[in-house]
Structure formats: C-alpha cells, structure tokens
Amino acid sequence: MPLTRNRIREIRALSQKKVRDELDLFVVEGLRLVRDAAESAFDIPEAFATAAFEASPGGEHLVGLLRARGTSCRQVTPRELSQFADTVNAQGVLAIVRRRNESAGEVIRRITIPALLVGLDGIADPGNLGSIVRTCDWFGAGGILLGRTSVDLYNPKVVRATMGGIFHVPVVTGLDLPLSALQAKEQGYTVYVTDPSADLFDADVRFPERSLIIFGNEAHGVSEDLSRAADARIAIRRYGAAESLNVGVACGILLSAHRRSHE
C-alpha cells in the first residue's frame, strides 16, 4: 500500500528542529549511516527502503538486520522516498531513529582512564559540528558536552557530516556549559578552553588523566563565563600567516596531543 500524503508530511516534518524535539526522533539516510544506526544501541522504530535497495547484497543484509531488531521496514518507491528524503540521492534507504537522552553528569562520571571529554560552546556551522563528532569518534573521546547555543546535533547536515560518529560517541545537548565544566571539575577533570591568545601551547601540555577540552564559536571563541570556569587556556602554535584555524581542525590537533600524552 502506498504511503499516504499525511504520512509523507509527518516524515518530512522531521527536517524541522521543533518537530524533532517534540517527537524525540531524527532521520538518517544512506547505507552507511543506517547500518551504523542498526549496529548501535539506538532504537529505530521505522525504516523505508526501495525494492532495488532491498535486492542489493548490502541492502538485503541491512534490512534483515533491522527487522531482526524489531524495526518496522516498509518498502517504498523511489518517488515516495524522494518526497521525504533530505538528500537528492538517499541510496534507497532511510530510517527514523529515536534520540538517546543522557545527562551531562552520567557522561562525566563514566570514567575510563585516560578520560577525555570535549565541550562545544556556540558551534554554528553544521559541517563543523559533524566534523568534530567524527574527530571525537576517531580519537576515542568519552563524550561531547554540547552547549545550548550550538547548532542542533540532529540537523540532517550535522548527522551526515558525523559519518556515523553520532552513533558511537555520547553527546549531551542543550547544556549550560559553565555549569557542566564545574560538574566535571568536581569529578577530578582539568578543564581547558581554547584561546588563540593563550601562552600555553598544545605541544607543551601533559594532559592529566581526566581532561575536558572546550572549543568555542567559530568567530568569537569561548564565552567569558567558560574562560573563568577553566583551569587553563590553551592555544595551537601558529607557524604561518593564517589569521585563524578551523575549529574542526583545532579539535583534531588537540585531541591528538591528548592521546600522545598517554602513549
């Protein structure tokens, strides 16, 4: 039976933040992202796939995996899928995923030494946020604390840019970051904020066993409240003439430095 217009509108409405927040759901598209979701602990109430996708080797395996975990899998036509997919080419598959809601306290207390958390204050660009999540996944960060002024984690552009990292790294959203920084300090974390004018450079830091590294807004950096709450300000040494460094690149450099501290 074809999807009703009303059902198509409901799925398409998940492109809006207010609807995602109301329903606690978000959308993933494409073989890789849906597979990463299916292999994670996230609940997947519903998935949609074309006949051609289901007949492909990877598609047949993925649909079987989804059904085995209790997901309702519905076959749709390419035209139907195009009416509610966010991308031009959704690769024939789309899934609706339920968000996982953990508290900052839970993530902070889940300590595996060396414990590394990343805080994000006012990250505005979806591509930057997705890249940071992916980078945190690469370096095995224990979690991300996302301030309330940052772009929505479940924005479709962010989800795609994480390349599956959204299903591997716990991310707590909508936080009062200065308060979260204080919570981390109470649990023995040393809190660093990035600041290009700082006198302490990445290569000179021996990161302790529990570290929270906070990155700020692309244009304005971290807030004054966070700077006051931090134990130290840290910079990446500049060797050329560039005026600034992309926040995603900065994240990779400092997370690499943290890992080298514990080799």
Tens of pLDDT, residue by residue, the chain (263 residues): 678 899 999 999 999 999 999 999 999 999 999 999 999 999 999 999 999 999 998 999 999 999 999 999 999 999 999 999 987 676 899 999 999 999 999 999 987 888 999 999 999 999 999 999 999 999 999 999 999 999 999 999 999 999 999 999 999 999 999 999 999 999 999 999 999 989 999 989 999 999 999 999 998 999 999 999 899 999 999 999 998 899 999 999 999 999 999 88
Q: pTM surpassing 0.85?
A: yes
- Set out the domains of the chain in order of their start, with CATH numbers: 5-98 (3.30.1330.30), 104-261 (3.40.1280.10)
pLDDT of 92 reads 94
pLDDT of 263 reads 82
pLDDT of 158 reads 97
- Name the packing angle between helices 247-261 and 126-138 (round to 10°): 10
**Spatial contact of 146 and 120, defined as CB atoms under 8 Å apart:** yes
pLDDT of 262 reads 86
pLDDT of 145 reads 98
Assign 3-class secondary structure to the chain: CCCCHHHHHHHHHHHCHHHHHHHCEEEEECHHHHHHHHCCCCCCCEEEECHHHHHCHHHHHHHHHHHHCCCEEEECCHHHHHHHCCCCCCCCEEEEEECCCCCHHHHHHCCCCCEEEEEECCCCCHHHHHHHHHHHHHCCCCEEEEECCCCCCCCHHHHHHCCCHHHCCCEEEEECHHHHHHHHHHCCCEEEEECCCCCCEHHHCCCCCEEEEEECECCCECCHHHHHHCCEEEECCCCCCCCCCCHHHHHHHHHHHHHHHCC
pLDDT of 110 reads 86
* One-letter amino acid of 226: L
Instruction: Quote the radius of gyration of the chain (alpha carbons, Å).
Output: 20
